[in-house]
């Protein structure tokens, strides 16, 4: 993480977490999370979890499977109640040579200089689903384009 990128995040555990992730320093990264950390994934509720042990398991697999994984912070802000909002993306190369990229927002809650919770909105970047008009059609008619035609 370069200096300008580090400046986008407030000093504290979220900045340390991102820096550790970009060094692939699993121990330092996991140490930024409270043991009772709560991850809420509103768009995919079944992916929500509790505990820093799951953070360790997730990131150990990511570091092993994506040896060049890199996080980029695009913007960040602090909010009420010890909140840190971070717009970010990540990119890495899978063992088969294909590239994976995701982008989104995470809203962290900081408690006692650790990340205690996050609302996690991160989705794969894809370029194949069409333009905004296609997205509106899917929202209104469903993915098959059905509907009653009215």
Q: Which residues of 92-107 are buried (b: 16+ CB within 10 A; e: fewer)?
A: beeeeeeeeeebbebb
Give pLDDT < 50 ranges for the chain: 1-4, 149-150
User: At 48, phi and psi to the nearest 5?
Assistant: -65, 150
How far apart CA 118 and CA 124 sit, in angstroms, is 18
pLDDT tens, 8-25?
788 899 999 999 999 999
User: At 37, phi and psi to the nearest 5?
Assistant: -45, 135
Give the residue extent of every domain in the chain.
Answer: 3-141
Give the model's pLDDT for residue 2: 47
CATH topology of domain 3-141: Nuclear Transport Factor 2; Chain: A, (3.10.450)
H/E element holding 27?
helix 26-30
Give the model's pLDDT for residue 5: 62
| Cβ 62 vs Cβ 69: under 8 Å | yes
């Amino acid at each position: 993480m370069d200096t300008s990128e580090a400046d986008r995040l407030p000093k504290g555990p979220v900045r340390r977490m991102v820096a550790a992730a970009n060094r692939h320093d699993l121990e330092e990264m996991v140490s930024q999370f409270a043991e009772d950390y709560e991850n809420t994934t509103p768009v995919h509720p079944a992916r929500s979890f509790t505990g820093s042990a799951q953070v360790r398991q997730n990131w150990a697999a990511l570091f092993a499977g994506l040896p060049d994984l890199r996080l980029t912070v695009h913007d960040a802000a602090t909010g009420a109640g010890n909140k840190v909002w971070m717009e970010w993306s990540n990119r890495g190369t899978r063992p088969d040579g294909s590239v994976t990229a995701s982008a989104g927002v995470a809203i962290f809650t900081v408690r006692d200089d650790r990340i205690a919770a996050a609302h996690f909105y991160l989705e794969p970047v894809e370029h194949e689903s069409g333009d905004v008009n296609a997205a509106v059609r899917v929202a209104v008619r469903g993915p098959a384009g059905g509907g009653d035609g009215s």
